[in-house]
């Protein structure tokens, strides 16, 4: 089991660095297939995200890839939304959490790959409107993503693309910074609700910090088109594996 946690941490870390996801999209379906109840899989996933997202965000910040003001507005909204995750997980239960995870992933997948963006550039959106969109996106994404055990990248990247015109590679650093802030709030909320296996989460998290370095290296060497194609397979994995568990 220990080796499985190590492998899962590294793979999820690569996903975090490459796609700006917390890793939950990979960890959550895998842990459920291994027999973990979804509430505890969510708790483990949220602890792992703290490690991966902070390492990735620090590197992205040093490279100048994070517009700090936008990231803080987005992350602050995420912290507000994530603080509600513990009560939401307690209220919904396993079945409805699985259904909600599947629905959110499918809607984000459809919006991102099969609809035209509302704006093709952030220059077409006024600064106050842009900040409002970021703040509201942070609250909504934080509330749902932390409750579902995902960092929010698969929800947030399509929002940033559709409403602000950001391509997937430009949205990834913002998404990862958002996860760094919201994951702390989400993990604390879930811990107080009794849904965190701390040792497992820390082991997977430390390994994911290594994986995120590999993911960032890969992301810097591929085109936006290739990046979007790879992201498509992540969505499909999440949808198929969750459907298998649900049905």
Q: In this predicted structure, what is the pLDDT of residue 171?
A: 85
Confidence tier at 121 by pLDDT (50, 70, 90)? low
Least confident interval from 38-47, 100-109, 119-128: 119-128
Domain that holds residue 121: 2-246
User: Could you give the number of structural domains in the chain?
Assistant: 1
Does 29 or 49 have the greater pLDDT score? Answer: 49
Q: What is the reported pTM?
A: 0.79
Q: In this predicted structure, what is the pLDDT of residue 206?
A: 95
Q: In this predicted structure, what is the pLDDT of residue 102?
A: 83
Q: Is the pLDDT of residue 214 over 90?
A: yes
Report how far apart, in Å, the C-alpha atoms of 12 and of each of 88, 182, 217, 234 are.
24, 18, 15, 11
């Amino acid at each position: 089991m220990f080796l499985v946690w190590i492998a899962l941490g590294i793979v999820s870390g690569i996903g975090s660095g490459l796609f700006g996801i917390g890793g939950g999209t990979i960890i959550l379906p895998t842990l459920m297939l291994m027999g973990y109840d979804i509430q505890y899989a969510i708790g483990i996933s949220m602890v792992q995200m703290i490690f991966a997202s902070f390492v990735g965000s620090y590197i992205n910040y040093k490279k100048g890839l994070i517009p700090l003001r936008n990231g803080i507005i987005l992350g602050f909204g995420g912290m507000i939304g994530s603080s509600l995750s513990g009560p939401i997980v307690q209220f919904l239960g396993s079945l409805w959490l699985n259904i909600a995870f599947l629905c959110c992933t499918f809607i984000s997948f459809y919006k991102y790959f099969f609809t035209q963006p509302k704006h093709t550039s952030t220059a077409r959106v006024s600064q106050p409107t842009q900040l409002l969109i970021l703040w509201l996106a942070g609250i909504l994404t934080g509330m749902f993503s932390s409750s579902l055990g995902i960092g929010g990248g698969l929800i947030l990247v399509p929002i940033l693309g559709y409403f602000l015109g950001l391509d997937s590679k430009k949205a990834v650093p913002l998404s990862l910074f958002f996860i760094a802030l919201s994951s702390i709030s989400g993990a604390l909320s879930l811990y107080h609700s009794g849904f965190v296996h701390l040792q497992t989460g820390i082991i997977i998290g430390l390994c994911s910090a290594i994986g995120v370095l590999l993911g960032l290296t890969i992301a810097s060497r591929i085109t936006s088109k290739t990046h979007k194609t790879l992201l498509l397979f992540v969505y499909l994995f999440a949808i198929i594996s969750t459907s298998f568990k649900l049905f």
